[in-house]
Structure 1
Amino acid sequence: MSDAQEFRPPSPEILTFLIPISLQALLLHPIFPAALSRPLRFLLAPFSIYLTWFSSFDHGFEPRESSVGINFVLGVMNAYGVWKALEWGTAADLTPYTWVGFVETEEGKAVGPKESKEDLEAIRRNQAEKDGPLDIISWTILLLGSMRGNGWAFGPPPRSLAPHPPRQLLAFLRSTLFEITWSHLSLVSCAVVLLARQPSRMVFFSTLFPSLPDSTLRILSEAVATMALGTGAFAGLTLGMQIAILVVFVPTELLRLLPLPTALKPNPFDARQYPPLFLRPWAPENVSHFWSQQWHSFFSLPFAYLGFGPFSKVGEAVGGKAGGRALGVLAVFAMSAWLHEHAIWSATHTLPPPSIPLDFPTRWGGSIYFMAQGVAIILEGAWRAITGKKVQGPLAFIWSVCCMAGLGYYTYLAWSTLGLFNNLPHPAEWTWARWLIPMAAVSPPQAFA
Structure 2
Amino acid sequence: MLAPDADPRALARPAFSLPSPKGLLFGAGLLALALLLQPAVPPRVSRVLRLALFPFVAFLALASPFWWRFEPFAISIPADFRWAIFAPYGWLKAVEWGLLSSGAREREFAWVGFDGRDEERVHAHSREHTCEGKRGAVQQQAAGKTTAREEDGGARSRRANDVAAPRPIHPLVRADSLTAAQDASAANSQLPTPSPSPSPPFEAIQPPSIADDPPHSPPLPPLAKAKVASLTAEQRLHPLRTFSDAFHLLTSLRGIGYTWGPPLRSLAPPSPTHAAFVRRAAYMFVYSHVVSTLCLALQVLDRDGLLAPFLARQLSLLPVSSPAAVADFISSTISRLCIGVSLYAQMNIGFEGACLAFFVCHLATNALLSRLANALPSNWAKRVSWRSTFDLREYPPLFDRPFAAMGDGGLASFWGKRWHALFRGPFTAVGYRPVAKLTRTLGLPKKASQLAGVFVVFALSGWMHWQALLAARHALGEGLSPALLAFAAARSIPPTSLFPRPYASLSFLERHGTFVFFLLQPVAVALENFWIAKTRKRVGGWAGRIWVALWVVVLGQAIVGRSWLALGLVHGLPPVHLWSWERWLLPTFSLAPMPIFMRS
Partner of 1:235: 345
TM superposition shift of 1:105: 10
TM superposition shift of 1:430: 1.4
Q: Is 1:310 aligned to 2:434, yes or no?
A: yes
CA 1:56/1:105 → structure 2, altered by over 3 Å: closer, same or farther? farther
**Residues 256, 264 of structure 2: 8 Å contact kept:** no
Q: Is 1:251 aligned to 2:376, yes or no?
A: no
TM superposition shift of 1:125: 5.0
Post-superposition Cα deviations, 1:115-166, rounded to whole Å, max 9, x if no partner, equal 7443343322566933211111111111111110112121213343111124
Please, which of 138, 141, 161 is the counterpart of residue 247 of structure 2?
A: 141
CA distance in 2, matches of 1:65, 1:373: 32
Moved more, 136-145 or 211-220: 211-220
Q: How does 1:272-421 map to 2 (within 5 A)?
A: 272-282=393-403, 283-285=405-407, 286-316=410-440, 317-350=442-475, 356-408=504-556, 409-421=558-570
**Residues 311, 324 of structure 1: 8 Å contact kept:** yes
**Residues 7, 61 of structure 1: 8 Å contact kept:** yes
CA 1:247/1:221 → structure 2, altered by over 3 Å: closer, same or farther? same
Q: Is 1:30 aligned to 2:39, yes or no?
A: yes
CA 1:354/1:276 → structure 2, altered by over 3 Å: closer, same or farther? closer
Post-superposition Cα deviations, 1:269-325, rounded to whole Å, max 9, x if no partner, equal 232221111011013121111000000000111111111111123334443012111
Post-superposition Cα deviations, 1:175-219, rounded to whole Å, max 9, x if no partner, equal 221111111111122112111125222123212322253443333
CA distance in 2, matches of 1:367, 1:236: 22
**Residues 66, 423 of structure 1: 8 Å contact kept:** yes
TM superposition shift of 1:234: 1.3
Post-superposition Cα deviations, 1:405-438, rounded to whole Å, max 9, x if no partner, equal 1111211111111111111022222122211111
**Residues 77, 571 of structure 2: 8 Å contact kept:** yes
TM superposition shift of 1:14: 1.3
**Residues 101, 113 of structure 1: 8 Å contact kept:** no
Number of corresponding residues: 444
CA distance in 1, matches of 2:512, 2:503: 18
CA distance in 2, matches of 1:87, 1:32: 18
CA distance in 2, matches of 1:392, 1:365: 28
**Residues 186, 235 of structure 1: 8 Å contact kept:** yes
Please, which of 73, 92, 97 is the counterpart of residue 109 of structure 2?
A: 97
Moved more, 213-222 or 173-182: 213-222
- Structure with max Cα Rg: 2
CA distance in 2, matches of 1:2, 1:174: 47
CA 1:126/1:154 → structure 2, altered by over 3 Å: closer, same or farther? closer
Q: How does 1:177-196 map to 2 (within 5 A)?
A: 177-196=282-301
Unaligned segments of structure 2, at least 5 residues: 1-9, 119-169, 192-231, 374-382, 478-500
Identical positions, percent: 32
Instruction: State the TM-score, normalizing by the size of structure 2.
Output: 0.70
**Residues 159, 293 of structure 1: 8 Å contact kept:** no
Post-superposition Cα deviations, 1:200-256, rounded to whole Å, max 9, x if no partner, equal 221232123222534433332222222211111111111111111122221221121
Instruction: State the TM-score, normalizing by the size of structure 1.
Output: 0.92
Post-superposition Cα deviations, 1:12-71, rounded to whole Å, max 9, x if no partner, equal 221222333211110111111221111211111101111111001101221112222221
Q: Is 1:223 aligned to 2:372, yes or no?
A: no
CA distance in 2, matches of 1:3, 1:153: 56
CA 1:315/1:232 → structure 2, altered by over 3 Å: closer, same or farther? same
CA 1:312/1:268 → structure 2, altered by over 3 Å: closer, same or farther? same
Amino acid at match of 2:453: G
SS of 1:153's equivalent in the other structure is coil
Two-structure CA RMSD over aligned residues (Å): 2.5
